[in-house]
Structure 1
């Protein structure tokens, strides 16, 4: 079965949530899933998914969410190490679905180049389904994708001062 490339982008909530939902669906269908989270290093609820669905593996390639500040050399090093790990996984073909969570944000902050990512995606085992999430999806990633969904914020309770809630936003 040929795998396709999905992109979930836009300024609305739900990109990671949609990708984790797809991971659960795939796991319940007997597929193996790898989720690589770029930028993220904080305690997100989805990190506990492996306790319930051992066919899903999740790994973070960040320290904390530096989005309000500039990335440090350590942030760049962790992201590049994560990209290398994902490259190896994408070539091997031991997983059916690979989610590259917040990859678009890593590209936006120039933690690695678009050319590197496009090359890795083009060299992947073609049976692997790939999901790329994050705001600011570059044109090159959109052009490469087979499916692109834009999450558009219409209204958000953050604007009313509601803080992120465990199990809903993280």
Structure 2
């Protein structure tokens, strides 16, 4: 791609990671290479199997367990910072056409690293690299930086009726 844009999927509604995965599938099917980084997440999700099925798709998690109902541990902070450094290198390498920073907005919200470091990584990316940032509570500076921002708004969710995350649908 001549120019890579910055896209943000945020909001309280379901579908941010799913939208980024859909975009990733489209890119891979068009012959592009995708790196999908999952911040904060360390749990097993079905999409972790995508590398087996999609040539040109790479995925790595930069988290231990989900801490969003508590405070991040030193290990969470360490993993997040290592992940951001690795992703900054990937962004600047030009080895991938699309780089997804899944749940990076949550990582910022919990102060795993600074917004300045994220913006620096975006600014130093190779020409033509599309960057996707997901997660609730997108920082205002990330929204300003973005070329496209989509807010997922929850209107109704079956989770409120006690439906747990289902394999192949939510995880």
Q: Normalising by the residue count of structure 1, what TM-score does the alignment of the two structures yield?
A: 0.99
- SS of alignment partner, residue 8 of structure 2: strand
Residue 166 of structure 1 aligns with which residue?
A: 167
In structure 2, what is the Cα distance between the partners aligned to 1:6 and 1:60? 20
Structure 1 residue 70: deviation in Å?
0.5
Extract unaligned runs of 5+ from structure 2.
Answer: none
In structure 1, what is the Cα distance between the partners aligned to 2:121 and 2:24? 21
Residue 30 of structure 1 aligns with which residue?
A: 31
Extract unaligned runs of 5+ from structure 1.
Answer: none
Structure 1 residue 54: deviation in Å?
2.2
In structure 2, what is the Cα distance between the partners aligned to 1:82 and 1:35? 11
How well do the aligned residues superpose, as a CA RMSD in angstroms?
Answer: 0.6
**Misfit runs of 4+, over 2 Å:** none
In structure 1, what is the Cα distance between the partners aligned to 2:162 and 2:96? 40
Residue 135 of structure 1 aligns with which residue?
A: 136
In structure 2, what is the Cα distance between the partners aligned to 1:80 and 1:167? 29
Q: Normalising by the residue count of structure 2, what TM-score does the alignment of the two structures yield?
A: 0.98
In structure 2, what is the Cα distance between the partners aligned to 1:126 and 1:149? 23
- SS of alignment partner, residue 99 of structure 1: strand
Residue 2 of structure 1 aligns with which residue?
A: 3
Structure 1 residue 124: deviation in Å?
1.0
CA deviations on 1:8-27 (whole Å, 9 max, x unpaired) are: 00000000000000000000
